[in-house]
């Protein structure tokens, strides 16, 4: 598993729960969305967006789009390791990819794409990706 996850700076580990399964006897598709949210927030924490030192951030990272490619069904019991990394930075959004690996199967089971839009609550508008955020991402990713 360590070899599969070595390229990711942020890794989230999630235990599959019995209640995550559906009538088809595999993890329900919507659960992958929930796991992806955890991975996204873990990435934001790694960037320091929600750290106590930063009492107030200048923007909110809003989810603008998400998609999931399901590769192999996951069943209980299992542990999923999600490696998240920045795929691309555009003028008005950051694209993150999360790669879901099954500990039991030892392989990739799903890929989630997430587009993050910087949003200014004061003006109620999206804003360009702040330069300081780009610097933080580059530092985290080792770019």
**Residue 55: which H helix or E strand, with range?**
none
| Percent of the chain's residues with pLDDT above 70 | 95
What is the reported pLDDT for 58?
Answer: 73
What is the reported pLDDT for 59?
Answer: 82
Residue 102 CB contacts under 8 Å (≥ 6 apart), including other chains: 72, 74, 78, 79, 80, 109
Higher pLDDT residue, 6 or 49? 6
- Measured CA to CA, the distance from residue 112 to residue 110 in angstroms comes to 7
- Express each pLDDT in 55-108 by its tens digit: 566 788 999 999 999 999 999 999 999 999 999 999 999 999 999 999 999 999
**Residue 36: which H helix or E strand, with range?**
helix 29-47
Say if CB 96 and CB 36 are below 8 A apart. Answer: no
What is the reported pLDDT for 54?
Answer: 60
What is the reported pLDDT for 56?
Answer: 63
Cis bond before residue 77 (omega within 30° of 0): yes
Question: Mean pLDDT score of the chain, rounded to an integer?
Answer: 93
Across residues 23-42, what is the average pLDDT? 96
CATH of 1-141, one of 3.10.129.10, 3.40.50.10320, 3.40.50.1110, 3.40.50.720: 3.10.129.10
The answer on pLDDT for 52 being more than 70 is no
Long-range contacts (CB closer than 8 Å, 24 or more residues apart) made by 29-35: 29/68, 29/70, 32/68, 32/70, 32/100, 32/110, 32/112, 33/66, 33/68, 33/112, 35/80, 35/82, 35/100
């Amino acid at each position: 598993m360590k070899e599969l996850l070595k390229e990711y700076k942020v890794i989230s580990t999630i235990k599959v729960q019995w209640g995550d399964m559906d009538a088809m006897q595999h993890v329900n598709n919507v659960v992958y969305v929930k796991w992806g949210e955890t991975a996204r927030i873990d990435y934001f924490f790694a960037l320091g967006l929600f750290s106590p030192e930063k009492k107030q951030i200048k923007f909110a990272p809003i989810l603008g789009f998400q998609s999931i490619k399901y590769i192999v069904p996951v069943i209980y019991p299992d542990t999923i390791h999600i490696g998240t990394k920045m795929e691309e930075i555009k003028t008005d959004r950051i694209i993150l990819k999360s790669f879901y690996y099954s500990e039991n199967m030892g392989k990739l089971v799903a890929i989630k794409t997430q587009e993050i839009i910087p949003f200014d609550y004061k003006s109620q508008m999206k804003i360009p990706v702040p330069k300081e955020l780009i610097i933080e991402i580059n530092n985290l990713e080792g770019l």
